Amino acid sequence: MQLVRSSRPRLASFCSPFSSASAEGTARLLRVGHVLRESRRFSESDVVRYSEVSGDRNPVHLDDAFARTVAGFDGGRVVHGMLVASLFPSVISSHFPGAVYVSQTLTFKLPVYVGDEVLAEMQVTYLRQYKNKYMVKFTTKCFTNEDSLVVEGEATTIISTLTSSK
């Protein structure tokens, strides 16, 4: 996972980690425009476990033949959209332990198939201090290994520091 200040790279070419630390050792501080990323490949096991925990046993997620023939998903079984979207709070908590995830909007654009690599990207759009905490808003996007936008939305978080733990 990376904190970067650049345009989105293709999955195969990640940017070097963001660091605003100078030779004097200043902290790496989150600012408007910064991007946090995490990638993950969703396996059959991930989908089965999520189905068990969530209770969502829709056959488009669990039965390849059903997904292809009845539902028309040429790529086979589809990863649960909420499982894909779970990358967003994972990104936040790995950079800012103790963060509170306040809200998330989501639009599912395209299916993610079992075995697809997904890149989650969160870009800071708003940052405001309130007392001893910070409200941070992000645009949220997920892309597949074909570089296709599959999920987008916005998130709001409350964090206690702007210094990334990564």
Confidence of residue 41 (pLDDT cuts 50, 70, 90): very high
Confidence of residue 92 (pLDDT cuts 50, 70, 90): very high
For residue 157, CA distances in Å to 1, 28, 129, 135 come to 18, 18, 12, 6
Q: Which residue has the higher pLDDT, 155 or 164?
A: 155
Confidence at residue 91, expressed as pLDDT on a 0 to 100 scale: 96
Measured CA to CA, the distance from residue 46 to residue 114 in angstroms comes to 9
Q: Give the mean pLDDT of the chain.
A: 87
Measured CA to CA, the distance from residue 154 to residue 135 in angstroms comes to 13
Confidence of residue 88 (pLDDT cuts 50, 70, 90): very high
All structural domains of the chain with their residue ranges: 2-42+79-159
- Mean pLDDT for 109-124 is 97
Sheet architecture: strand order including 117-130:
2-4, 35-41, 117-130, 133-144, 149-159, 100-108
- Mean pLDDT for 54-72 is 97
Is 3.10.129.10 the CATH classification of the domain at 2-42+79-159? yes
Please provide residue 27's backbone torsions phi and psi, each rounded to the nearest 5 degrees. -70, 160
For residue 121, CA distances in Å to 36, 87, 117, 150 come to 6, 9, 13, 12
Measured CA to CA, the distance from residue 3 to residue 133 in angstroms comes to 20
- SS3 assignment, position 118: strand
